[in-house]
Amino acid sequence: MTSNQTGAKWISELLEGHPDRIHDAFRMSKRIFTDLLRKLEVDHELQGSRRTSSREILGITLYILAQRGSFRLTKERFQHSTETISRYFSKGIRSLPLLSIDIIKPIDRQFRDIPAEIRYDSRYMPFFKDCVGAIDGTHVDARIPVEDQVRYIGRHGTTTQNVMAVCDFNMCFTFALAGWEGTAHDRRMATRTKGSFPTTAGGHGGGKRKRRKNSGSRKKGRRRRKRGQGGVALL
């Protein structure tokens, strides 16, 4: 590690340079990076050390996540030892789930009001007056220890994690469930989330809010599935 361009200098260059540079490195804009850093520092006690700032710790964390970077590549980029990179990545990655608790949540956890998108649209009202959002799942690539890989191998033969998420009618996420093995069925995931959200995927489970029946919509859904198209479930 002999380069004069330390990680701190590199991040300063990104923040002062062309917007594409920081987006390519961290997959976010300058404003989002600085807002995220401030939020983690103020609300979730992300702190640096005598030699490394909290800004660099966040940079290390985002670089590894955005670039799928190994510790070996990251230590060259930031000019730190492997042990230091590992320690700061662990510190940064622990702060992000704490942030998600503040952000990924419904505005009104009791869902007392009917969403305006349904209330004032005769196509959906009153059939979907109890609908609180839409739910869908996706698979993301994951690096899994060899001894645990079998249950994470999905339909395409790669190791993945099954992620389920809910968004409201403003396209804001209100619930997310990550970490399930790629072979996990949505029904199994939904059963385990009982009590975390007022309903479950595809009407499975015993949530308090249920989907309203609408024969026209159900027929359209069947036609879409016959054509091989996927879709999201309304909650």
Do 124 and 226 have their domain in common? yes
- Is 216's pLDDT higher than 60? no
Residue 74 lies in a domain: yes
Percent with pLDDT over 70 in the chain: 75
Residues 120 and 220 in one domain: yes
| Beta carbons within 10 angstroms of residue 32's beta carbon | 13
More confident call, 228 vs 149: 149
Spatial contact of 91 and 46, defined as CB atoms under 8 Å apart: yes
Do 93 and 20 lie in one domain? The reply is: yes
Residue where one domain finishes, among candidates 47, 73, 103 = 103
pLDDT at 184 over 70: no
Residues 128 and 196 in one domain: yes
Inter-residue contact 102 to 77 (CB < 8 Å): no
**Last residue in a domain, options 45, 80, 103:** 103
Evaluate whether residue 110 is within a structural domain: no
pLDDT value at position 66? 92
| Same domain? 128 vs 223 | yes
| pTM of this prediction exceeds 0.95 | no
| pLDDT given for residue 201 in this prediction | 41
pLDDT digits over 21-46, tens only? 999 999 999 999 999 999 999 998 88
pLDDT of 141: 83
pLDDT higher than 50, residue 222: no
pLDDT in tens, 120-133: 989 988 888 888 88
Q: Is the pLDDT of residue 226 over 90?
A: no
Residues 121 and 68 in one domain: no
Residue 230 lies in a domain: yes
pLDDT of residue 86: 94
Q: Give the end of a domain, one of 76, 103, 130.
A: 103
- State whether 99 and 123 are in the same domain: no
Q: Nearest Cα to 132, choosing from 93, 96, 180, 173? A: 173
- Mean pLDDT within 173-181: 80
- In terms of domains, do 202 and 138 share one? yes
Domain span including residue 229: 116-234
pLDDT at 232: 59
Domain count, the chain: 2
